[in-house]
A and B are shown apart, each in its own frame.
Chain A
Amino acid sequence: MIVRERRKEIGVLKAIGSSNIKIVTQFISESVSLTFLGTLVGLVAGALLASPIMNVLVSSSLTSGQQPERIMGGGIGGRMGMVIMNGQSTIRNLNAVVSYNIILYGLAAALVIAIIGSAIPAWLISKVRPSEVLRGE
């Protein structure tokens, strides 16, 4: 979408002598930079907001006065618990778990999407003659 919106800019860059490779590289690097920035903002926001949000969700789903049986699990940076009441399981005292693996998988997936999502449209548009791009503005 962003690449399509910047079709005219691609036409101008080609007109003043930019190569297709250079244009595609520029769009990929912009996309990767935005992905890293988004990941950073997402991590900070997630670390700060995950626990308070979960506490609100857990406390609102519990019936007061019941004594739960606790089952523990989790990973780095947090824990989660589960209460079993009257044969039914209810989530209680759930803390955010930030696993390094999950962060890495998420980042890798976002990067792959960012690279493919920017490279393919940029490449397709860069193959068009600049006169067509400028004429169609």
Chain B
Amino acid sequence: MLKVENLKKQFKSGDTIINAVDGVSLEIEEGSFVSIIGKSGSGKSTLLALLGALDKATSGKIEIGGKEITKMPDRKLISYRREEIGFVFQNYNLIPNISALENVMIPMELTGMPKAKRKERARDLLLEVDLDENKHLRKPSRLSGGEQQRVAIARALANKPKLILADEPTGNLDTETGKMIDDLLKKLAKIEKTTIIAVTHDQDVAKRSDIVFHIKDGKLVKE
């Protein structure tokens, strides 16, 4: 389902070229929960940004569901991100001045779904991630970190993506809340048949994954 071949991303820092992602190749089946572990600066977030088409690779190939995204023009990448990818960020990255429900509605609004339908789906998703109904209309600042991350997961699932990319999804949470968020992601991967790739430096997250990769100096090794 997800196939990566010899993927490279280089950055220039003065006269030096940094290989943030250095010849990564991998294959991941649909519905898997995958962890990529690495220290800070190992290239894990850059790899995630490339998989999510947030950044352009220097060379190599990424194929998702038979579509090669490394060859797509920017216009197509926008709809690829909208329809086939869901993002979960370490800092939640919810829009601060709108409610939890409206945050979940945004990706559906971008696809042109009618308001009543997207409101209903957003409500269902928030219930699916166990966010109490009386908190649906609260703004993110009035939710705890764990609750905000639940909203972010619901938003990531909004357009039924094939792939969810999570960048340190439990990085800002305490151990217990982190485990709950992890279990939730794993449960949803099965229910929604979505592949989840989470980058983390947390060994506990990795233990609960189907597949674990280690990344060091931009190079990937399967555990």
Of B45, B55, B79, B94, the contact of A17 (CB 8 Å cutoff): B79
Of residues A8, A18, A22, which shows the largest number of chain B Cβ atoms within 10 Å of its Cβ? Answer: A18
Of the listed stretches B80-88, B172-180, B196-204, name the one at the interface; the rest are far from the partner chain.
B80-88
Of B45, B49, B81, the contact of A16 (CB 8 Å cutoff): B81
Whether the pair A15, B110 counts as a contact (CB closer than 8 A) is no
A13 CA to B110 CA in the complex, in Å? 10
Tell me which residues across on chain A come within 8 A of B55, comparing CB atoms.
129, 131
Whether the pair B91, A17 counts as a contact (CB closer than 8 A) is no
Whether the pair B81, A15 counts as a contact (CB closer than 8 A) is yes
| Shortest distance from the beta carbon of B9 to any chain A beta carbon, whole Å | 10
How many A-B contacts if CB must be within 8 Å? 51
Whether the pair A15, B79 counts as a contact (CB closer than 8 A) is no
| B218 sits at the interface (CB 8 A) | no
Whether the pair B110, A18 counts as a contact (CB closer than 8 A) is yes
| Shortest distance from the beta carbon of A61 to any chain B beta carbon, whole Å | 46
| A19 sits at the interface (CB 8 A) | yes
Residues 10-31 of chain A, each 1 if its beta carbon lies under 8 Å from chain B, else 0: 0111111111001000000000
A134-B54 contact given A16-B87, A17-B107, A18-B110, CB 8 Å threshold: yes
Of A9, A17, A134, the contact of B110 (CB 8 Å cutoff): A17
| B72 sits at the interface (CB 8 A) | no
Residue on B with the closest CB to A22?
B110
Residue on A with the closest CB to B97?
A9
| Shortest distance from the beta carbon of A84 to any chain B beta carbon, whole Å | 56
Tell me which residues across on chain B come within 8 A of A22, comparing CB atoms.
110
Chain A residues in contact with chain B, CB under 8 A? 8-9, 11-19, 22, 129-131, 134-135, 137
Whether the pair A13, B106 counts as a contact (CB closer than 8 A) is yes
A17 CA to B91 CA in the complex, in Å? 19
Whether the pair B93, A8 counts as a contact (CB closer than 8 A) is yes
A17-B95 contact given A22-B110, A130-B54, A131-B49, CB 8 Å threshold: no
| B89 sits at the interface (CB 8 A) | yes
| B31 sits at the interface (CB 8 A) | no
A70 CA to B24 CA in the complex, in Å? 88
A19 CA to B75 CA in the complex, in Å? 8
8 contacts between A and B (CB under 8 A): A9-B95, A17-B83, A18-B110, A19-B75, A129-B55, A131-B49, A131-B55, A134-B93
| B78 sits at the interface (CB 8 A) | yes
A22 CA to B50 CA in the complex, in Å? 23
| B38 sits at the interface (CB 8 A) | no
A15-B95 contact given A131-B49, A134-B89, CB 8 Å threshold: no
Whether the pair A131, B83 counts as a contact (CB closer than 8 A) is no
Tell me which residues across on chain A come within 8 A of B82, comparing CB atoms.
16-18
List residues 101-156 of chain B with CB under 8 A from any CB of chain A. Answer: 106-107, 110, 155
| B52 sits at the interface (CB 8 A) | yes
Whether the pair B78, A16 counts as a contact (CB closer than 8 A) is no
A16-B155 contact given A22-B110, A134-B93, CB 8 Å threshold: yes
A12-B54 contact given A17-B83, A22-B110, CB 8 Å threshold: no
Residue on B with the closest CB to A129?
B55
A19 CA to B73 CA in the complex, in Å? 13
Whether the pair A15, B54 counts as a contact (CB closer than 8 A) is yes
Whether the pair B79, A12 counts as a contact (CB closer than 8 A) is no
| Shortest distance from the beta carbon of A105 to any chain B beta carbon, whole Å | 32
